[in-house]
A and B are shown apart, each in its own frame.
Chain A
Amino acid sequence: AQSVTQPDIHITVSEGASLELRCNYSYGATPYLFWYVQSPGQGLQLLLKYFSGDTLVQGIKGFEAEFKRSQSSFNLRKPSVHWSDAAEYFCAVGGKTGANNLFFGTGTRLTVIP
């Protein structure tokens, strides 16, 4: 069965600092992996996704993520955080039919301090 673990419930970083949000997944085959961001009162917006190929994936808003099969991880990174990045971040793994049936982690709330 698919599952996703986001070990950090809440992270606080200073504006301009680098960011890494952790995500570990459990899946029997090659996974389809996603990062979504949710701002207060908003729906989820896709930041980036990995299906195959290059293990370093570039997304919107300056985010990137690296797929590491040996560690079952798909960590999200950004070199310099902006105050507008404060939000909830969700990692998700696609089900057996591909991008359908997304299984989400519990999320990491990012606070950015000036």
Chain B
Amino acid sequence: EAGVAQSPRYKIIEKRQSVAFWCNPISGHATLYWYQQILGQGPKLLIQFQNNGVVDDSQLPKDRFSAERLKGVDSTLKIQPAKLEDSAVYLCASSTGQVQETQYFGPGTRLLVL
């Protein structure tokens, strides 16, 4: 079974530029999560999708971050404009959507904002 795929793996941009990350979850997984992991910290949930609907985006800085999952499969997370403090690893995870399910994580995208 293929795991969660993410691209790109690394990205370096200058502040005020825009960037987008892509995630392809495990086939059949209804729930998709985006986490931000700043160096030295644990992952923090940014947004959770159930199929193509948003379940929780309370921690998403909506003035600069946006995410979509148009067909209930792949998802894109965008930052525009980027700030220095956005430097982090962005992790995508997916699960079946049932209660007490396990979240499966992708390898992450490491973003450096200069």
> Do most interface residues of chain B lie in helix, strand or loop, or is the interface mixed?
loop
> Is there an interface contact between B102 and A44, defined as CB atoms closer than 8 Å?
no
Question: What band does the interface of chain B fall in when counting residues whose beta carbon is under 8 Å from A?
Answer: 20 to 34
> Is there an interface contact between A43 and B106, defined as CB atoms closer than 8 Å?
yes
> How many Å from the CB of A26 to the closest CB on chain B?
14
Within 8 A of A (CB), among B26-61: 31, 40-45, 48, 55-56
Best-surrounded residue of B4, B42, B100, B105 (most CB of chain A within 10 A):
B42
Best-surrounded residue of A45, A46, A102, A105 (most CB of chain B within 10 A):
A102
> Is there an interface contact between A99 and B105, defined as CB atoms closer than 8 Å?
no
7 A-B residue pairs with Cβ-Cβ distance under 8 Å, sorted by A, are A43-B93, A46-B103, A46-B104, A97-B99, A99-B102, A102-B43, A104-B42
Q: For chains A and B in complex, what number of residue pairs have CB atoms within 8 angstroms? A: 57
Within 8 A of A (CB), among B52-83: 55-56
Query: Do A100 and B42 form a contact, CB below 8 Å, given A42-B107, A43-B106?
Result: no
> Do most interface residues of chain A lie in helix, strand or loop, or is the interface mixed?
loop
Question: What band does the interface of chain A fall in when counting residues whose beta carbon is under 8 Å from B?
Answer: 20 to 34
> Is there an interface contact between A99 and B95, defined as CB atoms closer than 8 Å?
yes
> How many Å from the CB of B37 to the closest CB on chain A?
8
> How many Å from the CB of A94 to the closest CB on chain B?
8
A90 at the interface (CB under 8 A from B): yes
> Is there an interface contact between B102 and A43, defined as CB atoms closer than 8 Å?
no
B91 at the interface (CB under 8 A from A): yes
Within 8 A of B (CB), among A39-70: 41-46, 49, 51
Residues of A within 8 A of B31 (CB): 100
When C-beta atoms are compared, the residue in chain A nearest to B55 turns out to be A100
Q: How far is the CA of A107 from the CA of B31 in the complex (A)?
A: 25
> Is there an interface contact between A46 and B45, defined as CB atoms closer than 8 Å?
no
A101 at the interface (CB under 8 A from B): yes
A4 at the interface (CB under 8 A from B): yes
Q: How far is the CA of A32 from the CA of B91 in the complex (A)?
A: 21
